[in-house]
Structure 1
Amino acid sequence: MSQSPAPPTSVELRAEGLMLEVLTAGAAVRRLEVTGDGGRPVGIVLGHADPRTYVTNGGYLGATIGRFGNRIAGARFDLDGETHELSGNEGTTTLHGGVDGFDHRAWTVVDRGDTSVTFGLHSPDGDQGFPGALDVTVTYAALPGRVRIDYTAVCDRDTVVNLTNHSYFNLDGEGSGSVDDHWLTLSAGAFTPTDFLLIPTGEVRDVEGTPFDFRHPRRLGEALSHTDEQLAHGQGIDHNFVVDGAGLRHVATLRGASGRTLVVESDQPGVQVYTGAHFDGTVTGTSGTAYGPRAGIALETQGFPDAPHHADFPTTVLRAGTEHRTTTVWRLG
């Protein structure tokens, strides 16, 4: 009889008004709790009831994604004239780093304080087909009213890197139902349309007059109710938005029916918005509730999907010996 895996190490970080639980499995966020009515904690990210699930079948919930977040078409890319064949795990596509992405890995706690923890991971040369030996860290810090995530990566060969966090948010409480009554605002005047495989076509399209216009607060259920080819491709929204400006700046504001808010800031050029169409009741959350369609929304700050195949997209190339460094902040209100 096979034994169930040992649970991953759990680290709880606390600051005024919030508690963040992160795991060594996938360097994943399992719980983010804020103070609700009557002083009771309310969980606002989707998480597995059993922490051991993250070891075997985490389904990206809250995980650190790498080496390359999102999709690479054809499970291959060329860099400086050399073709690199990757592991395909979504048909002919490499999704979120391949068959054995960083979300499947046991990360190491390399530094821990009262309000922060740093996880480290070594990815050997050729891992999932990616060139170079890559060393990655992700640091989670709990601060009053906010969570900060800092990533670093260094490689000994030229490679491509696109790191992100794959938390799903439901500001009315995980397990409370769909996020249709959440209101979303994005600092994004354009998005990158996809083909039916959810691979960007290369076009950068203005959001004006489309269901993808979130420049002003828009109810998710209303946006998703439109008949639109792009919505059909993603069974809702599963698209990269082109974030206005540069540097650490506003990306998104999400507001639940409860009035609770999340403001996302990042220095990355894009944010993948995914409205969680795949949830079908097979995942049981930390509250013991099964997650149905659109149980949460992911706001993945990152480089553009399939960037290695699109010279006009912001580069995701990391040159040997240089440091990739990026920051995302979640502000809670």
Structure 2
Amino acid sequence: MSLLPPTPPAEATPPKAGIQKTVFGQLPDGRDVHLFTLRNRTGMEVQITNYGGYIVSVMTTDRTGKYDPVTLGVPTLADYVKGTPSFGPIIGRFGNRIAKGKFTLNGQEYQLAVNSGGNHIHGGRVGFDKKLWAATPVDGTEPALKLQYTSPDGEENYPGTLAVEVTYTLQKDNALRIDYRATTDKPTVVNMTNHAYFNLSGMKRDVLGHEVVINADKFLPTDKAQIPTGELRSVAGTPFDFRQSTPIGARINDTTDVQIRNGFGYDHCWVFTDPSNKLRLGAVVYEPVSGRVMEMYTTEPGVQLYTANHLNGKLQGKEGVPYTRRFGLCLETQHFPDSPNHPNFPTTTLNPGETYRSTTVYKFGTR
């Protein structure tokens, strides 16, 4: 008996995989910005722009086969340029917070921009999310987009000229893979991530019903300014225990918990139980109504879960839906916030001759 699968009927011929480039708009200085649409043979589609490396859209099926967007995004380039709450860009040089914008490296103190409650966040006032990246599309059954940017020495007052490459690949198995690479000519600090907001309902409802597993036995408590205290605290017996599948909304409003109050919900870094830097499963998100599942794999030591605590409905997405509080969730894979000021945290220092490498995969399916 043949073990080969039957030939699909003509109407089941899979869609053509590949990448298409279109003009997304122009920056105020007249430079063209492009939108790249990646499709695989299952029909999954991802759109990315080379302005800020934003993931503009991810389209996946629910359990009935219906396609919907599962990431938050705004309609036009002008909306992105105007500024969003980081709806899917590349974040750098340093994702998350650095206390008071200060760190000391090799005996020299650096003062970065203070752009969030007295602290530095997400690379500063003009971070990687506001840069026009050089784009190289890679066609094929696993289409990819390679983005490159060189951050000059002293940009946002970070030391060293940093050559950065970020590659998005849409894989055959419905996974979006993000590979980060960087080199420097002077000692510096690097902690890149992507800040996509996911909503697996297809923009039908908020994320409080999303069920989450995070393979982490510790998290980082913060002070009221959301700077880590330096403690790695056990999740056991706290609202931060997602070792078993738990709805986001189950404990997010437990204001008896100081950490929930400090983050206005979840806005904390979880420390993975597996401390290795191999690509391993970090989290799983399941939306029971649509049946959509997202698995997140990463080489990073932690992940910041943010539950859109500050969205207020004033921004409207491409679908015409107001983005209200807790309408999305972020899984920002990263080294720990404020690492340069905590010697007990994994180092974010990058030296000349070394190569920064990081990989994160968001894999989509249904159950």
TM over 0.5: yes
Cα deviation 1:261-287 (Å, max 9, x = unaligned): 000000000100000011111211121
Whole-Å separation in 1 of the counterparts to 2:334 and 2:124: 17
- The match for 1:267 is 299
Alignment check: 8 A CA contact 2:71 2:197 kept: yes
Whichever residue aligns with residue 195 of structure 1, its letter is: D
- Matched ranges for 1:98-177 at <5 A: 98-114=124-140, 115-144=143-172, 145-174=174-203, 176-177=204-205
For 2:35, the equivalent position in structure 1 comes to 10
- What whole-Å deviation, never above 9, does each CA across 1:52-95 have from its counterpart, x for those lacking one? 22223133110000000000001110001000111111132110
Residue equivalent to 1:315: 347
- Structure-1 residue corresponding to 2:240: 212
CA contact (8 A) 1:177 1:292 kept: no
Percent identity between the two aligned chains: 40
Other structure's SS at 1:168 match:
coil
Give unpaired runs (5+ residues) of structure 1.
none
RMSD: 1.5
- For 2:75, which of 27, 39, 49 is the aligned residue? 49
The one of 320, 324, 333 equivalent to 1:301 is: 333
Shift of 1:37: 6.2
**TM-score computed with the length of structure 1 as normaliser:** 0.96
Residue 285 of structure 2: which of 254, 267, 275 is its match? 254
Q: Which of residues 118, 122, 130 is equivalent to 1:92? A: 118
CA contact (8 A) 1:56 1:104 kept: no
Whether 1:22 and 2:51 are equivalent positions in the alignment is no
1:112-148 per-residue CA deviation (whole Å, 9 max, x = no partner) reads: 3241010011100001110000011110001122111
Among residues 281, 285, 288, which one is paired with 2:313 in the alignment?
A: 281
Structure 2 gaps, min length 5:
1-25
Q: Distance in 1 between matches of 2:286 and 2:66?
A: 19
Aligned partner of 1:10: which letter?
A: L
Deviations 1:31-55 (A, max 9, x none): 0001246644210011112232222
- TM-score when scaled to structure 2? 0.87
Change (3 A) 1:58 1:112: farther
**Separation in 1, partners of 2:179, 2:195:** 14
The CA deviation at 1:321 is: 2.5
